[in-house]
């Protein structure tokens, strides 16, 4: 990987920018009533009705071709849309996974029949997806998954468990990585991807409660679940390659640095009322980091739009970006706590408290910091 | 990509700027011996319009050249002279021949000043080109001067809204990003070669992760420097973002590079210190990350409408 050319100068085209005022106007109407602590959830805030409202504007499945009910737009248009949604703190979790990766995955690897069946309802905001990768004994070591699908005539029988599956309990489908041949010791070989209708018999889903008492993810058990032949996505045995193609989409987007932006802007607002030079400088540092992250993410958007798969570069953006968004609540806490005799605004305190309790996960979800750094090191020619 | 421009320039630098040349130039002040060759290469007027004998390039187009100067630790103010010549020409001033020009806004140290003959300074809303007297010696031993540059004023032009400090900071950030790429490169190579416990250092996860972080900082600084070198002219906010990222990255990357190198890294005979000493010198020059972060923070607070994402897009989002 040549670092100097890995992030080429890239400008969002004007055509894509035209979308921005429309999205802003919509958000102004639809979410300005939300409390900041709820907006702070952004892409983990689940609101099916909001997703359907977005879809009615054509803003779910924006990059899916029009023939499948999508917007037929490019990755830059989606960057603009998503940037506005995240910065405003719109509750986009319901359709998020389908929009970001399941839809594009089906478009790339699905059969024509699968595309016709799954993509239009995704684009209408009526069909929600989750990602079934992690298992109780397979986290970072994803290739060790044990959930298994066995061919049985014209169908498959699925047995095993998935865990930490974001919003499985509110989703219609899971795209899962499971073993179809060989043993866990065969690692990347013998893995396949399936699309699982979560209403099928034999599936139990148990939401997992967090310390905050939210339930953002679930544990699933599959007991001899019968899947139709056409539940296989792509090629039998090619699951690992297919999953890796998703990773560049999953790791390079603005959701890897905007997760705490709502709080940053509340803090800036408070600072305006009561200027503190030390905080002002720290704010400036964050703005500088954000500028560089945003330019890097747009550069990768361009490479993805050109059909490339910059997986290592995406890992680099995610590691830097999640550090940035993790720092925001820590910095705001330092600023708030340093003036004990000042009344904290209750909304800001609630937003801060929410993010302080969950900012740890920013560098876990989607692959941990340590795993990403290992990938980057390999990309740099170490090992 | 930029090859028709960049490749010959890099070949020129490889030829005129070897580590032994750099060491030799460190030992004395006065124009670098390679200055004549650099000046005659034609690259120096890359920013001048074609009608004025230049190449009519934009800031974003010459950015790779400026980065390459940093990567080579070029002991001559090539980038600064290129920019100063374009500026003076635009103001209708006669271009001095043979002049190696640094930009010298107030700064505790002006890198490359000891390797220059002239300096652009500001006073009372005017930009002046001065023929420089020798200044106080550079405690980094890297060809700078450590005081306000003085000398006879040769010509004055209206500053016309030009913020010399932003110009100098932007060029500093771009050259720093080149130095950081070189430092990273050297450190990666060293980690793959040096053996301890019967294997290369690169096999140790602690080392791998440090280098991954080093690469993140280097890329972030390079990207921010590209932001500063975009558009029609240098801009204080874009320069601010670049200098903040460069300064933060510099201290992290120097620490990582020297940690991975062990003792050899600080020795005179080994090249790493050539780059890290300069990097620290540049980080201190023309406003450090604290100074520029305050500029950015103030600007953000002065903009009430919109989110921080809007602020970044509107003020720091132009990459062309
Ligand atoms: C909020 C949230 C949402 C999530 N949503 C989903 C989802 O929708 N679908 C899904 O499939 N998964 C999901 N995950 C799971 C996530 O992908 C895993 O948490 C992650 O891959 C790490 O796995 P683990 O939690 O089992 O930790 P482990 O893999 O057990 O890791 C624990 C620690 O050990 C470190 N470690 C492990 N291996 C190494 C190594 N080789 N070298 C150095 N250090 C190592 C890790 O970096 C980490 O610090 C979610 C997680 C979170 C927190």
Rounded to a whole number of angstroms, the distance from the CA of A336 to the nearest CA of chain B is: 17
> Which residues of chain B neighbour A370 with C-beta distances below 8 Å?
209
Residue B285 has pLDDT above 90, yes or no: yes
Closest to A336 measured CA to CA, from A252, A274, A253: A274
CA distance A185 to chain B (A): 23
Give the residue from B162, B193, B228 where a domain finishes. B162
The domain that contains B226 carries what CATH number?
1.20.140.10
Q: What is the mean pLDDT of chain B?
A: 96
* End-of-domain residue from the set B162, B183, B216: B162
Report which ligand 1 atom has the smallest distance to the Cα of A361: 53
Chain B residues with CB under 8 Å of A372 CB are 212
Handedness of CA A378, A186, A103, A36 (dihedral sign): negative
Pair B305, B199 in one domain: yes
DSSP states of B125-146 as a string?
TEEEEEEEPP-PBPTT-SS-BS
Cross-chain residue pair B316–A291, CB shorter than 8 Å: yes
The reported pLDDT for the residue numbered B2 is 52
Tokens 């009608």 — which residue?
B51
Question: Residues B150, B176: one domain?
Answer: no
Is residue B96 domain-resident? yes
- Hey, is the C-beta of B176 within 8 angstroms of any chain A C-beta? no
User: Residue B139 is part of which domain span?
Assistant: 3-162
pLDDT of A1 = 66
Ligand 1 pocket mutation, candidates A140, A210, A359, A382, criterion most atoms within 8 A of CB: A140
pLDDT of residue A173: 98
Pocket of ligand 1 (CB under 6 A): A 130-134, 139-140, 164-166, 216-217, 361, 364-365, 367-368, 370-371
Verify that B128 and B194 share a domain, yes or no: no
Percentage of chain B exceeding pLDDT 70: 99
Q: Which atom belonging to ligand 1 lies closest to the Cα atom of A370?
A: 47
Do B98 and B177 share a domain, yes or no? no
Q: Chain A: residue nearest B1 by CA?
A: A5
Give the minimum alpha-carbon distance from B2 to chain A in angstroms, rounded to a whole number.
Answer: 10
Q: Which of B67, B226, B301 lies closest to A272 in CB terms?
A: B301
> Does any domain span residue B311?
yes
| Section B79-97 average pLDDT | 94
Q: Are residues B77 and B174 in the same domain?
A: no
User: How far is the centre of ligand 1, averaged over its atoms, from the C-alpha of A243 (Å)?
Assistant: 16
B183 in the same domain as B142? no
**Chain A residues closer than 8 Å to B313 by CB:** 83, 294
Confidence (pLDDT) at B1: 45
Give yes or no: residues B141 and B240 share one domain: no
Please give the number of the atom of ligand 1 that sits closest to the Cα of A140: 29
B241 contacts on A by Cβ (under 8 Å): 287-288, 291-292
- Let me know whether B186 and B75 are in one domain: no
Same domain? B121 vs B215:
no
Indicate whether this complex's ipTM tops 0.90: yes
* B147/B180 same-domain check: no
Both B127 and B142 in one domain: the answer is yes
pLDDT digits (tens, 9 = 90+) for B201-257: 999 999 999 999 999 999 999 999 999 999 999 999 999 999 999 999 999 999 999
Q: Please report whether residue B320 resides in a domain.
A: no
* B136, B162, B188 - which closes a domain: B162
Q: Which residue of A has its CA nearest to B223?
A: A292
| For residues B98-103, average pLDDT | 96
User: Is B195 inside a domain boundary?
Assistant: yes
pLDDT, one tens digit per residue, over B30-78 is 999 999 999 999 999 999 999 999 999 999 999 999 999 999 999 999 9
Considering the domain architecture, whether residues B301 and B178 belong to the same structural domain is answered as yes
Nearest CA to ligand 1 atom 30: A139
Number of compact structural domains in chain B? 2
Is the confidence at residue B189, as pLDDT, over 60?
yes
pLDDT in tens, chain A (383 residues): 688 899 999 999 999 999 999 999 999 999 999 999 999 999 999 999 999 999 999 999 999 999 999 999 999 999 999 999 999 999 999 999 999 999 999 999 999 999 999 999 999 999 999 999 999 999 999 999 999 999 999 999 999 999 999 999 999 999 999 999 999 899 999 999 999 999 999 999 999 999 999 999 999 999 999 999 999 999 999 999 999 988 888 999 999 999 999 999 999 999 998 878 899 999 999 999 999 999 999 999 999 999 999 999 999 999 999 999 999 999 999 999 999 988 878 999 999 999 999 999 999 999 999 999 999 999 999 97
Tell me which residue of A379, A378, A365 sits closest to A44, measured CA to CA: A365
Nearest to A382 among B208, B297, B316 (CB): B208
Q: Which of A252, A292, A324 to mutate to test the interface with B (most CBs of B within 10 A)?
A: A292
Q: Which atom of ligand 1 is nearest to the CA of A367?
A: 21
Residue of B nearest to A293 (CA): B220
Inform me whether the C-beta atom of residue A9 falls under 8 Å from chain B C-beta atoms.
yes
In a domain, B219, yes or no: yes
The tens digit of pLDDT for each residue in A325-346 reads: 999 999 999 999 999 988 878 9
> Using CB atoms, which residue from B212, B220, B242 is nearest to A373?
B212
Query: Has residue B227 been placed in a domain?
Result: yes
Instruction: Name all domains of chain A by residue range, CATH numbers in brackets.
Output: 3-128 (1.10.540.10), 131-237 (2.40.110.10), 241-379 (1.20.140.10)
> Measured between CB atoms, does A280 come within 8 Å of chain B?
yes
Residues paired with residue B121 on neighbouring β-strands, in sequence order: B128
The ligand 1 atom nearest the CA atom of A368: 47
Q: Can you tell me the distance from the alpha carbon of B70 to that of B232, in angstroms, rounded to the nearest whole number? A: 22
Residue to substitute from A256, A275, A291, interface B, most B β-carbons within 10 A? A291
3-state secondary structure chain A: CCHHHHCCCCCCCHHHHCHHHHHHHHHHHHCCCCCHHHHCCHHHCCCHHHHHHHHHCCCCCCCCCHHHCCCCCCHHHHHHHHHHHHHHCCCCHHHHHHHHHHHHHHHHHCCHHHHHHHHHHHHCCCCCEEEECCECCECCCHHHCCCEEEEECCEEEEEEEEEEEECHHHCCEEEEEEECCCCHHHCCCCEEEEEEECCCCCEEEEEECCCCCCCCEEEEEEEEEEEEHHHEECCCCEHHHHHHHHHHHHHCCHHHCCCCHHHHHHHHHHHHHCCCHHHHHHHHHHHHHHHHHHHHHHHHHHHHHCCCCCHHHHHHHHHHHHHHHHHHHHHHHHHHHCCCCCCCCHHHHHHHHHHHHHHHHHHCCCCCHHHHHHHHHHHCCCC
């Amino acid at each position: 990987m040549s670092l100097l050319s890995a992030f080429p100068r890239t400008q969002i085209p004007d055509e894509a920018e035209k979308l921005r005022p429309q999205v802003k106007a919509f958000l102004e109407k639809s979410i300005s009533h939300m409390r900041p602590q709820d907006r702070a959830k952004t892409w983990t805030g689940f609101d099916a009705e909001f997703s359907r409202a977005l879809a009615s504007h054509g803003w779910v499945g924006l990059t899916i071709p029009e023939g499948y009910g999508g917007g037929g737009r490019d990755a830059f248009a989606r960057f603009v849309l998503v940037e506005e949604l995240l910065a405003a703190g719109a509750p986009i979790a319901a359709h998020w996974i389908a929009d970001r990766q399941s839809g594009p995955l089906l478009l790339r690897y699905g059969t024509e029949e699968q595309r016709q069946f799954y993509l239009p309802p995704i684009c209408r905001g009526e069909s929600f997806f989750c990602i079934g990768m992690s298992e109780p004994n397979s986290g970072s070591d994803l290739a060790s998954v044990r959930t298994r699908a066995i061919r049985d005539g014209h169908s498959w029988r699925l047995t095993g468990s998935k865990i930490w599956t974001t919003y499985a309990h509110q989703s219609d489908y899971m795209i899962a990585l499971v073993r179809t041949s060989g043993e866990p010791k065969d690692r990347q070989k013998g893995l396949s991807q399936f699309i699982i209708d979560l209403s099928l018999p034999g599936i139990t889903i148990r939401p997992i409660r967090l310390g905050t008492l939210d339930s953002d993810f679930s544990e699933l058990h599959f007991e001899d679940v019968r899947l139709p032949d056409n539940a296989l996505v792509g090629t039998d045995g090619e699951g690992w390659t297919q999953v890796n193609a998703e990773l560049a989409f999953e790791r390079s987007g603005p959701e890897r640095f905007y997760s705490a932006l709502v709080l940053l802007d509340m803090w800036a607002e408070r600072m305006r009322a009561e200027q503190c030079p030390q905080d002002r400088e720290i704010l400036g540092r964050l703005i500088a980091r954000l500028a560089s992250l945003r330019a890097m993410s747009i550069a990768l958007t361009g490479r993805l739009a050109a059909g490339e798969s910059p997986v290592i570069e995406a890992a680099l953006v995610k590691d830097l970006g999640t550090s940035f968004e993790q720092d925001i609540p820590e910095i705001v806490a330092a600023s708030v706590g340093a003036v004990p005799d000042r009344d904290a605004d209750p909304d800001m305190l609630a937003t801060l408290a929410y993010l302080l309790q969950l900012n740890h996960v920013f560098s876990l979800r989607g692959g941990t910091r340590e795993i990403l750094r290992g990938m980057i090191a390999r990309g740099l020619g170490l090992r | 990509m930029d090859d028709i421009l960049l490749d010959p320039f890099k070949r020129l630098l490889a030829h005129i700027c070897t580590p032994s040349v750099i060491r030799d130039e460190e030992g004395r002040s006065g124009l670098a011996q390679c200055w004549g060759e650099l000046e005659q290469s034609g690259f120096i007027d890359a920013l001048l319009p074609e009608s004025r004998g230049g190449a009519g390039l934009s800031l974003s187009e010459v950015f790779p050249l400026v980065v390459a100067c940093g990567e080579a630790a070029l002991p001559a103010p090539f980038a600064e002279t290129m920019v100063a010549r374009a500026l003076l020409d635009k103001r209708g001033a006669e271009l001095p021949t043979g002049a190696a020009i640094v930009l010298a806004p107030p700064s505790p140290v002006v890198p490359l000043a000891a390797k220059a003959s002239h300096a652009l300074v500001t006073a009372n809303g005017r930009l002046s080109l001065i023929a420089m007297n020798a200044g106080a010696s550079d405690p980094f031993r890297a060809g700078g001067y450590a005081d306000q540059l003085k000398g006879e004023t040769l010509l004055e032009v209206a500053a016309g809204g030009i913020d010399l400090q932003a110009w100098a900071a932007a060029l500093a950030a771009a050259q720093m990003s080149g130095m950081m790429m070189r430092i990273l490169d050297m450190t990666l190579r060293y980690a793959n070669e040096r053996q301890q416990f019967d294997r290369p250092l690169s096999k140790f996860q602690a080392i791998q992760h440090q280098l991954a972080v080093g690469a993140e900082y280097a890329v972030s600084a390079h990207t921010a420097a590209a932001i500063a070198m975009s558009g029609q002219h240098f801009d204080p906010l874009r320069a601010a973002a670049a200098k903040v990222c460069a300064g933060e990255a510099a201290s992290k990357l120097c620490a990582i590079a020297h940690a991975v190198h062990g003792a050899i890294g600080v020795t005179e005979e080994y090249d790493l210190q050539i780059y890290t000493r300069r990097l620290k010198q540049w980080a201190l020059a023309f406003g450090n990350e604290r100074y520029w972060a305050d500029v950015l923070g103030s600007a953000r607070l002065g903009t009430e409408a919109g989110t921080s994402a809007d602020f970044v897009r509107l003020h720091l989002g132009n990459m062309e």
